[in-house]
Chains A and B, each alone.
Chain A
């Protein structure tokens, strides 16, 4: 399994991508599988840290709730900051958050989630001390944001990847 097909998820994803770019026919399935197999063999030569997804359902639920709720809400909030007169004085600033997670895949996913959400952006992760530096557009509710990152994002990602 690990020699013939080192990254099954990557192979499936590449095949689906190939077929959706071309057409869903048997010939493209064979061609796409061949290309995906070569690509995942090349990926194995790079030897990245192999992620193990322990609870795929929890991961899917987290991603769906972030895409369809958190990002929508923060889109609205940032659009109001840009266009309208804010109800209170906006206070942008830096924020340091201690992280317990050490899994590289989990950290990468956390970076994508935080930067993809308008209003927070990931600046720097210090792997020696395990602290994360982020910049926040409106530091109005600092405790709620810290709670969101620590208790929802980090906890779920740690359950999934560690």
Chain B
């Protein structure tokens, strides 16, 4: 950024800055929510802010910047975007199913039971086991 690009057009730097700040801001918001929400199932929603348009914004900024500075279309960053979009739901779904399974086997009262299992309302054993 210092010596490789002596003259960068103003619109490029404005667009790159905009997408960078939007992406980083969304990611930070998602992580703050991840820290603040009270239950696991609410926390499941927070990181998707960072993986949807948080990643999208930063990938767009990187694509615009390298396309202008290298003077050829650079779009391999989109692979990171596609990869994150496809893989995050897999991780989150598996984690959600693991959490449901663990909560059900402990008889957690707030979790809807699977249809075959009859629920036994037991005491709240959330905080003890880690």
Partner of B45, one of A94, A112, A119, A133: A119
Q: Give the distance to chain B from A157, nearest Cβ to Cβ, in Å.
A: 15
* Chain B, residue nearest A71 (CB): B52
* Chain B, residue nearest A22 (CB): B76
Q: Give the distance to chain B from A101, nearest Cβ to Cβ, in Å.
A: 17
Q: Does A96 contact B (CB under 8 A)?
A: yes
Q: Does B96 contact A (CB under 8 A)?
A: yes
Q: Does A121 contact B (CB under 8 A)?
A: yes
Q: Does A144 contact B (CB under 8 A)?
A: no
Q: Please give the number of chain B residues whose Cβ is less than 8 angstroms from any Cβ of chain A in the complex.
A: 34
B residues within 8 A CB of A81? 33
Q: Does A20 contact B (CB under 8 A)?
A: yes
B45 touches A79 (CB 8 A): no
* A-B interface contact total, Cβ < 8 Å: 97
* Chain A, residue nearest B74 (CB): A20
* Chain B, residue nearest A79 (CB): B29
**How far is it, in angstroms, between the C-alpha of A117 and the C-alpha of B88 when the chains are bound?**
11
B53 touches A135 (CB 8 A): no
A residues within 8 A CB of B88? 115-116
* Chain B, residue nearest A138 (CB): B45
Partner of A124, one of B29, B49, B97: B97
Given contacts A94-B112, A116-B89, A121-B96, contact A71 B53 (CB under 8 A): yes
Partner of B42, one of A79, A126, A137: A137
* Chain B, residue nearest A134 (CB): B96
C-beta contact mask, A36-56 vs B, less than 8 Å → 1, else 0?
000000000000000000000
B33 touches A78 (CB 8 A): yes
- State which size class the interface on A falls in: 20 to 34
Q: Does A89 contact B (CB under 8 A)?
A: no
B79 touches A17 (CB 8 A): yes
C-beta contact mask, B47-70 vs A, less than 8 Å → 1, else 0?
011011100000000000000000
B residues within 8 A CB of A122? 89, 93, 96
B residues within 8 A CB of A115? 48, 88-89, 92-93
Tell me which residues from 20 to 60 in chain B have a Cβ below 8 Å from any Cβ of chain A.
26, 29-30, 32-33, 36, 39, 41-42, 44-46, 48-49, 51-53
Tell me which residues from 51 to 84 in chain A have a Cβ below 8 Å from any Cβ of chain B.
71-72, 75, 78-79, 81-83
A-B contact pairs, 23 of them (CB 8 A): A17-B79, A75-B52, A78-B45, A79-B49, A82-B46, A92-B41, A94-B41, A114-B89, A115-B92, A117-B52, A118-B30, A118-B45, A118-B46, A118-B48, A121-B44, A121-B48, A122-B89, A123-B41, A123-B100, A124-B100, A124-B114, A135-B41, A135-B44
